[in-house]
Amino acid sequence: MSKDTERSFGILPAPIWHRPHLRYIADTGDGVQDASEAQDSSTAEESHDTDADTTDWKAQARKWERQAKENKTAAEELAALKQSQMTEDEKRAERLASLESENAALKAEKQIAAWKSEIASEAGIPAAALRGSTRDELEAHAKELQTLIPKKPAPTSPALARANKGDGVQESTSPGLGTLRAAYADSDK
């Protein structure tokens, strides 16, 4: 190790478990001690420390859990006390405020649903696919989805092309189409 490392971190020995193929020898000052003996004594101390730490953490967790439960019951009792001390006007005002916030949330949800259906019909994508909470976000998402969805091919059959055009030609597969159109035309008048 360099001198800078020793100054900032101290001398850090490699842990025995990290390199099991090497034999470490610890010096106690009066003689040479085998690494296995040093490991046994340090492992016993470490296991004692970890057991004590685990027990302390468990005790602390139980203590904080007990205190949280006591705080919860105290908060519920305080809320009940405040509720009982409120006048009828205060109770009505609180109820009115909660209903107004609920109404505002429902109106916003309804407005978003209207925007979704409008944008979806313009863009030709399902309204359920749109995400966003403002009209701008919904429009941006619709544009993004339009780039991902392939365009539908034009009809290849001449009969389908005429039907889509609406040139009034009656198809042989639908003999009652003329009668149906006449009935709708009469109902409009």
Q: Give every residue of the chain whose pLDDT is below 70, as ranges.
A: 1-55, 152-176, 187-189
Structural domains of the chain, count: 1
Percent helix, strand and coil across the chain, each to the nearest 5:
70, 5, 25
In a domain, 119, yes or no: no
The H or E element containing residue 72 is helix 35-85
The whole-number pLDDT of residue 136 equals 94
Structure tokens that stand for 97 in this block: 């405020």
In a domain, 80, yes or no: yes
In a domain, 124, yes or no: no
In a domain, 115, yes or no: no
Q: Are 171 and 163 in contact (CB under 8 A)?
A: yes
Q: What is the CA radius of gyration of the chain?
A: 40
The whole-number pLDDT of residue 158 equals 63
The whole-number pLDDT of residue 103 equals 96
In a domain, 74, yes or no: yes
Name the pTM for this structure: 0.38
Whole-angstrom CA distances from 92 to 62, 80, 83, 87, 97 are 41, 16, 12, 9, 9
The whole-number pLDDT of residue 183 equals 72
Domain range for residue 69?
13-85
In a domain, 71, yes or no: yes
In a domain, 21, yes or no: yes
The whole-number pLDDT of residue 170 equals 46
- Residue 40 carries which DSSP code? H
In a domain, 180, yes or no: no
Q: Are 133 and 109 in contact (CB under 8 A)?
A: no
Q: How many helices (H) and strands (E) does the chain have?
A: 6, 2
Maximum CA extent, the chain? 118
